[in-house]
Amino acid sequence: MLEKHRQQLIKEIVDRESFVSVKVLTDKLSSSEATIRRDLTKMSNRGEIVKIRGGAESNSNKRKNIQSSTFEIDKTKRTDTKKLIAKKAVELCEDNDSIIINGGSSTYMMGEYLTDKNLNILTNSFVLANFLSENSDNLVSLPGGEIYREQGIILSSYEKDNTEHYRSSKMFMGTPGIGAFGVMESDPLLILSEQKLKKQTDKLIILADSSKLGKRSNFVFCSLEEVDVLITDSKADKEIIRYFESKDIEVIVVDSLDS
Protein backbone atom coordinates (compact mmCIF):
# COMPACT_ATOMS: atom_id res chain seq x y z
CA MET A 1 0.00 0.00 0.00
CA LEU A 2 1.34 3.45 -0.90
CA GLU A 3 2.19 5.81 1.96
CA LYS A 4 -0.29 8.44 0.79
CA HIS A 5 -3.09 5.88 0.51
CA ARG A 6 -2.29 4.42 3.94
CA GLN A 7 -2.23 7.84 5.60
CA GLN A 8 -5.57 8.77 4.06
CA LEU A 9 -7.02 5.57 5.51
CA ILE A 10 -5.51 6.39 8.90
CA LYS A 11 -7.14 9.84 8.76
CA GLU A 12 -10.53 8.30 7.92
CA ILE A 13 -10.28 5.76 10.76
CA VAL A 14 -9.07 8.28 13.36
CA ASP A 15 -11.77 10.82 12.45
CA ARG A 16 -14.45 8.14 12.67
CA GLU A 17 -13.28 6.52 15.91
CA SER A 18 -11.99 9.72 17.64
CA PHE A 19 -9.10 7.66 19.09
CA VAL A 20 -7.27 4.68 17.58
CA SER A 21 -4.30 2.78 19.00
CA VAL A 22 -1.20 1.87 16.99
CA LYS A 23 -2.08 -1.81 17.47
CA VAL A 24 -5.53 -1.37 15.94
CA LEU A 25 -4.10 0.53 12.97
CA THR A 26 -1.45 -2.13 12.33
CA ASP A 27 -4.16 -4.83 12.32
CA LYS A 28 -6.56 -2.89 10.10
CA LEU A 29 -3.97 -1.79 7.57
CA SER A 30 -1.71 -4.87 7.68
CA SER A 31 1.34 -2.69 8.37
CA SER A 32 4.14 -2.85 10.91
CA GLU A 33 4.07 -0.79 14.11
CA ALA A 34 7.17 1.09 12.96
CA THR A 35 5.45 2.09 9.70
CA ILE A 36 2.30 3.24 11.49
CA ARG A 37 4.30 5.24 14.05
CA ARG A 38 6.21 7.00 11.25
CA ASP A 39 2.90 7.79 9.52
CA LEU A 40 1.43 9.21 12.73
CA THR A 41 4.49 11.40 13.28
CA LYS A 42 4.31 12.82 9.75
CA MET A 43 0.56 13.36 9.95
CA SER A 44 0.86 15.00 13.37
CA ASN A 45 3.55 17.35 12.07
CA ARG A 46 1.17 18.34 9.25
CA GLY A 47 -1.62 18.95 11.75
CA GLU A 48 -3.86 16.20 10.34
CA ILE A 49 -4.19 14.24 13.60
CA VAL A 50 -3.05 14.54 17.21
CA LYS A 51 -0.38 11.97 18.09
CA ILE A 52 -0.63 10.73 21.65
CA ARG A 53 1.00 7.92 23.59
CA GLY A 54 0.04 4.58 22.04
CA GLY A 55 -1.92 5.97 19.12
CA ALA A 56 -3.65 9.02 17.71
CA GLU A 57 -6.82 11.02 18.17
CA SER A 58 -8.84 13.19 15.84
CA ASN A 59 -8.27 16.93 15.78
CA SER A 60 -11.71 17.47 14.25
CA ASN A 61 -15.06 17.40 15.99
CA LYS A 62 -16.79 17.08 12.64
CA ARG A 63 -17.23 13.63 11.16
CA LYS A 64 -15.84 13.35 7.64
CA ASN A 65 -18.16 12.01 4.96
CA ILE A 66 -17.01 9.65 2.25
CA GLN A 67 -15.99 11.68 -0.77
CA SER A 68 -18.50 10.48 -3.32
CA SER A 69 -21.67 11.70 -4.98
CA THR A 70 -24.68 11.32 -2.72
CA PHE A 71 -26.73 8.28 -3.56
CA GLU A 72 -30.07 10.05 -4.06
CA ILE A 73 -28.61 12.55 -6.55
CA ASP A 74 -26.45 10.10 -8.47
CA LYS A 75 -29.21 7.57 -9.06
CA THR A 76 -31.20 10.18 -11.04
CA LYS A 77 -28.48 10.53 -13.72
CA ARG A 78 -28.93 8.65 -17.02
CA THR A 79 -31.65 6.59 -15.36
CA ASP A 80 -33.03 4.83 -18.43
CA THR A 81 -29.61 3.71 -19.67
CA LYS A 82 -28.53 2.63 -16.20
CA LYS A 83 -31.67 0.50 -15.92
CA LEU A 84 -30.81 -1.30 -19.16
CA ILE A 85 -27.29 -1.91 -17.90
CA ALA A 86 -28.69 -3.21 -14.60
CA LYS A 87 -31.16 -5.46 -16.43
CA LYS A 88 -28.36 -6.96 -18.54
CA ALA A 89 -26.32 -7.55 -15.37
CA VAL A 90 -29.17 -9.52 -13.80
CA GLU A 91 -29.49 -11.60 -16.96
CA LEU A 92 -26.00 -12.94 -16.21
CA CYS A 93 -27.31 -14.52 -12.99
CA GLU A 94 -28.80 -17.99 -12.75
CA ASP A 95 -31.12 -19.25 -10.05
CA ASN A 96 -29.30 -20.39 -6.91
CA ASP A 97 -26.24 -18.33 -7.81
CA SER A 98 -24.35 -16.71 -4.94
CA ILE A 99 -23.47 -13.15 -5.93
CA ILE A 100 -22.09 -9.93 -4.43
CA ILE A 101 -23.61 -6.56 -5.29
CA ASN A 102 -21.59 -3.53 -4.27
CA GLY A 103 -23.47 -0.40 -3.25
CA GLY A 104 -24.07 2.34 -5.82
CA SER A 105 -26.69 3.93 -8.04
CA SER A 106 -26.17 1.60 -11.02
CA THR A 107 -26.13 -1.57 -8.94
CA TYR A 108 -29.16 -0.42 -6.92
CA MET A 109 -31.17 -0.53 -10.14
CA MET A 110 -30.51 -4.26 -10.38
CA GLY A 111 -33.07 -4.69 -7.61
CA GLU A 112 -36.04 -4.15 -9.92
CA TYR A 113 -34.94 -7.09 -12.07
CA LEU A 114 -34.02 -9.37 -9.17
CA THR A 115 -37.52 -9.63 -7.74
CA ASP A 116 -38.34 -12.90 -9.54
CA LYS A 117 -34.92 -14.48 -8.97
CA ASN A 118 -33.85 -17.03 -6.38
CA LEU A 119 -30.31 -16.01 -5.43
CA ASN A 120 -28.00 -15.77 -2.46
CA ILE A 121 -26.99 -12.12 -2.37
CA LEU A 122 -24.37 -10.38 -0.26
CA THR A 123 -24.54 -6.59 -0.55
CA ASN A 124 -23.18 -3.64 1.40
CA SER A 125 -26.11 -1.53 0.13
CA PHE A 126 -28.70 -1.42 2.89
CA VAL A 127 -31.18 0.34 0.57
CA LEU A 128 -30.91 -2.52 -1.94
CA ALA A 129 -31.12 -5.10 0.86
CA ASN A 130 -34.27 -3.44 2.18
CA PHE A 131 -35.88 -3.38 -1.26
CA LEU A 132 -35.08 -7.03 -1.95
CA SER A 133 -36.23 -8.20 1.48
CA GLU A 134 -39.65 -6.62 0.84
CA ASN A 135 -40.05 -7.50 -2.84
CA SER A 136 -38.32 -10.83 -3.47
CA ASP A 137 -37.56 -14.28 -2.10
CA ASN A 138 -33.80 -13.87 -2.51
CA LEU A 139 -31.64 -14.71 0.49
CA VAL A 140 -29.97 -11.39 1.34
CA SER A 141 -26.97 -10.92 3.63
CA LEU A 142 -25.30 -7.73 4.88
CA PRO A 143 -21.75 -7.31 6.18
CA GLY A 144 -21.08 -5.87 9.61
CA GLY A 145 -19.99 -2.26 9.80
CA GLU A 146 -21.03 1.36 10.03
CA ILE A 147 -23.99 2.78 8.13
CA TYR A 148 -23.29 5.70 5.80
CA ARG A 149 -26.83 6.97 5.23
CA GLU A 150 -25.99 9.53 2.55
CA GLN A 151 -24.43 6.87 0.32
CA GLY A 152 -26.83 4.10 1.36
CA ILE A 153 -24.02 1.67 2.21
CA ILE A 154 -22.45 -0.24 5.10
CA LEU A 155 -18.67 -0.13 5.46
CA SER A 156 -16.26 -1.75 7.86
CA SER A 157 -12.55 -1.22 8.35
CA TYR A 158 -12.24 -4.51 10.20
CA GLU A 159 -10.80 -7.55 8.49
CA LYS A 160 -13.51 -9.82 9.92
CA ASP A 161 -17.00 -8.49 9.15
CA ASN A 162 -18.81 -11.73 8.12
CA THR A 163 -17.83 -11.38 4.45
CA GLU A 164 -14.80 -13.65 4.82
CA HIS A 165 -17.10 -16.69 5.03
CA TYR A 166 -19.04 -15.84 1.84
CA ARG A 167 -18.14 -17.18 -1.60
CA SER A 168 -19.73 -15.90 -4.81
CA SER A 169 -19.56 -16.64 -8.51
CA LYS A 170 -19.94 -12.97 -9.50
CA MET A 171 -19.43 -9.53 -8.00
CA PHE A 172 -21.22 -6.54 -9.53
CA MET A 173 -20.03 -2.99 -8.96
CA GLY A 174 -20.25 0.47 -10.46
CA THR A 175 -17.38 2.93 -10.79
CA PRO A 176 -16.82 6.68 -11.26
CA GLY A 177 -14.35 5.86 -14.04
CA ILE A 178 -12.63 3.04 -15.93
CA GLY A 179 -9.79 3.21 -18.44
CA ALA A 180 -6.18 2.26 -19.08
CA PHE A 181 -5.37 3.22 -15.50
CA GLY A 182 -7.85 0.66 -14.14
CA VAL A 183 -11.15 0.75 -12.26
CA MET A 184 -11.45 3.95 -10.25
CA GLU A 185 -13.01 4.75 -6.90
CA SER A 186 -13.61 8.04 -5.13
CA ASP A 187 -12.52 7.24 -1.57
CA PRO A 188 -9.90 4.97 0.05
CA LEU A 189 -12.33 3.70 2.68
CA LEU A 190 -14.62 2.45 -0.08
CA ILE A 191 -11.67 0.65 -1.67
CA LEU A 192 -10.76 -1.07 1.59
CA SER A 193 -14.28 -2.50 1.87
CA GLU A 194 -14.66 -3.38 -1.81
CA GLN A 195 -11.33 -5.18 -2.03
CA LYS A 196 -12.42 -7.44 0.84
CA LEU A 197 -15.57 -8.29 -1.11
CA LYS A 198 -13.59 -8.89 -4.28
CA LYS A 199 -11.50 -11.57 -2.56
CA GLN A 200 -14.67 -13.64 -2.15
CA THR A 201 -15.71 -13.85 -5.82
CA ASP A 202 -14.73 -15.67 -9.01
CA LYS A 203 -15.72 -12.99 -11.52
CA LEU A 204 -15.73 -9.17 -11.37
CA ILE A 205 -18.43 -7.43 -13.45
CA ILE A 206 -18.31 -3.65 -13.84
CA LEU A 207 -21.43 -1.60 -14.61
CA ALA A 208 -20.38 1.68 -16.24
CA ASP A 209 -22.37 3.83 -18.64
CA SER A 210 -20.43 5.43 -21.50
CA SER A 211 -19.83 8.68 -19.59
CA LYS A 212 -17.59 6.73 -17.17
CA LEU A 213 -15.30 5.24 -19.83
CA GLY A 214 -11.89 6.91 -19.87
CA LYS A 215 -12.82 9.02 -16.86
CA ARG A 216 -10.42 9.35 -13.92
CA SER A 217 -11.18 9.63 -10.23
CA ASN A 218 -9.08 9.92 -7.09
CA PHE A 219 -8.04 6.33 -6.50
CA VAL A 220 -7.52 3.05 -8.36
CA PHE A 221 -9.60 0.13 -7.09
CA CYS A 222 -8.01 -2.51 -9.32
CA SER A 223 -6.26 -2.99 -12.66
CA LEU A 224 -8.07 -3.92 -15.87
CA GLU A 225 -6.49 -7.38 -15.67
CA GLU A 226 -8.80 -8.10 -12.72
CA VAL A 227 -11.99 -7.21 -14.63
CA ASP A 228 -13.88 -10.03 -16.35
CA VAL A 229 -16.93 -8.26 -17.79
CA LEU A 230 -17.81 -4.63 -18.53
CA ILE A 231 -21.42 -3.63 -19.24
CA THR A 232 -21.83 -0.24 -20.90
CA ASP A 233 -24.04 1.49 -23.48
CA SER A 234 -24.01 2.21 -27.20
CA LYS A 235 -22.74 5.78 -26.78
CA ALA A 236 -19.37 4.34 -25.81
CA ASP A 237 -16.50 5.15 -28.14
CA LYS A 238 -15.79 2.09 -30.31
CA GLU A 239 -12.04 2.52 -29.94
CA ILE A 240 -12.32 2.43 -26.15
CA ILE A 241 -14.42 -0.73 -26.37
CA ARG A 242 -11.79 -2.38 -28.59
CA TYR A 243 -9.14 -1.39 -26.06
CA PHE A 244 -11.03 -3.09 -23.22
CA GLU A 245 -11.53 -6.18 -25.35
CA SER A 246 -7.80 -6.28 -26.05
CA LYS A 247 -7.36 -6.64 -22.29
CA ASP A 248 -9.44 -9.84 -22.35
CA ILE A 249 -12.50 -8.09 -20.92
CA GLU A 250 -15.87 -9.21 -22.23
CA VAL A 251 -17.70 -6.00 -23.17
CA ILE A 252 -21.50 -6.11 -23.26
CA VAL A 253 -23.19 -3.11 -24.90
CA VAL A 254 -26.82 -2.10 -24.34
CA ASP A 255 -28.69 0.52 -26.35
CA SER A 256 -28.51 4.02 -24.87
CA LEU A 257 -31.92 5.61 -24.22
CA ASP A 258 -30.53 9.02 -23.31
CA SER A 259 -30.64 11.88 -25.78
Q: Which H or E run contains 182?
A: strand 182-185
Average pLDDT, the chain: 87
Could you tell me the pLDDT band of residue 109, with boundaries at 50, 70 and 90? very high
Q: How much is the pLDDT for 73?
A: 41
pLDDT tens, residue by residue, 38-65: 999 999 999 999 898 888 888 765 444 4
Q: Does domain 3-57 fall into CATH 3.40.50.300?
A: no
Evaluate whether the domain defined by 71-254 bears CATH number 3.60.10.10.
Answer: no
Residue 214, Cβ density class (10 Å: 0-12 exposed, 13-18 middle, ≥19 buried) = middle
Q: What are phi and psi of 160, to 5 degrees?
A: -105, 110
pLDDT the model gives residue 77: 60
pLDDT for the residue numbered 157: 62
Give the type of residue at 168: S
Contact 3, 9 (CB under 8 A): no
Q: Which residues contact 88 (CB under 8 A, 6 or more apart)?
A: 231, 252, 254
The domain spans of the chain are 3-57, 71-254
How does residue 152 score in pLDDT terms, banded at 50, 70 and 90?
confident
pTM of the model: 0.71
pLDDT interval class at 104 (50, 70, 90): confident
Contact 107, 101 (CB under 8 A): yes
Select the more confidently predicted residue: 86 or 152: 86
- Decide if pLDDT at 36 tops 90: yes
Q: How confident is the model at residue 147 (pLDDT cuts 50, 70, 90)?
A: confident
Question: Which pLDDT value is given to residue 68?
Answer: 46
Residue 81 confidence (pLDDT) above 70: yes
Half-sphere exposure in the Cβ direction for 138 (13 Å, CA)? 34
